Amino acid sequence: MQDKPSICLGIDSSRRYQPFVYAALDMERQIIAIGSGPLTEVLAYCAGLANACLAINSPRYPNQGLVAAEEEKQTLFPVPASKRGDLRKVELGLLEEGIRVARTPASEKDCPVWMQRGFKLYERLQRLGYMPYPQVDPHIYLEVSAEAAFSRLAGGAPLFEDDTLEGRLQRQLVLYENQLPVGDAMKFFEEVTRYRLMKGVLPMDGIYTSGELNALVCAFTAWLLFQEDGTAVCLGDQREGEIYLPPLAADVFHPRRVYKAG
């Protein structure tokens, strides 16, 4: 049985050529670190953790053609390769759920830069001794889709684009409602005045960046794995890489959730 880690670390690689972003939660859901930097800096931080679960917002490797193979079996006439589903089974399922997720191509060279950076991160973490969950080890990692995690925590509500102001406010509010120690994003509107709008100065000090929010929701998803009443769910196929997500929330507007420690 896997012991509880002392740290749940979320890592976001989805900012294309920008630095990796990471956020660490302890088992009391306190934010103990938020940072960003190149791969070497992230690896150095991970190497210094004695007992940690890493949750990474990136596919572990390209898809293995499972969706395309199933489509070919079910189709009377051959389907052109260009029209086959070039994505993983888990991504197909999430898209059918109405969640906007990136598709992972079968060829690494066809994958976007941020995915290729993610592949390299997984490879280097394994060299450091990190093992894929649910293997029992003090150093484990797993895959999370930040977009899908936010969507599920929001009860399936439509999400604004993550790099817009409204998207950041929405995602921070989702984290706040789930008892993470982030500021209430609604206070942003209390501090917006006519003068500030005219001068182009908005109260952004307490609002996290999209990369930080992604890293936080990944860390929170890992935290859920080790709680009595908030267990994350596993989706996907082992042959292509499984992802872990929060269970689908019952509704969007709810009192701040209370989690019991496992």
**Both structure tokens of 152:** 């599920």
More confident residue, 59 or 158: 59
Neighbours of 201 (CB within 10 A): 11
Q: How confident is the model at residue 251 (pLDDT cuts 50, 70, 90)?
A: very low
Neighbours of 135 (CB within 10 A): 11
Per-residue pLDDT of 181-231, as tens digits, reads 998 887 766 666 666 666 676 666 778 999 999 999 999 999 999 987 657
Task: Calculate the average pLDDT of the chain.
Answer: 86
The number of residues making up the chain comes to 262
Predicted local confidence at residue 186, as pLDDT: 76
Per-residue pLDDT of 87-141, as tens digits, reads 998 998 898 888 989 999 999 999 999 999 999 999 999 999 999 998 999 999 9
Q: Which amino acid is present at 172?
A: Q
Q: How confident is the model at residue 60 (pLDDT cuts 50, 70, 90)?
A: very high
Beta bridge partners of 243: 143, 235
Phi (first) and psi of residue 5, to 5 degrees: -75, 160
Beta bridge partners of 201: none
Going from N- to C-terminal start, the domains of the chain cover 7-245
Predicted local confidence at residue 248, as pLDDT: 79
Predicted local confidence at residue 17, as pLDDT: 72
Q: How confident is the model at residue 18 (pLDDT cuts 50, 70, 90)?
A: confident
CA dihedral for 118, 122, 125, 130, sign (positive or negative): positive
What's CA 53's distance to the chain center, in Å?
Answer: 13
- Out of 52-56, 152-156, 165-169, 187-191, give the one with best mean pLDDT: 52-56
pLDDT (mean) for 75-92: 67
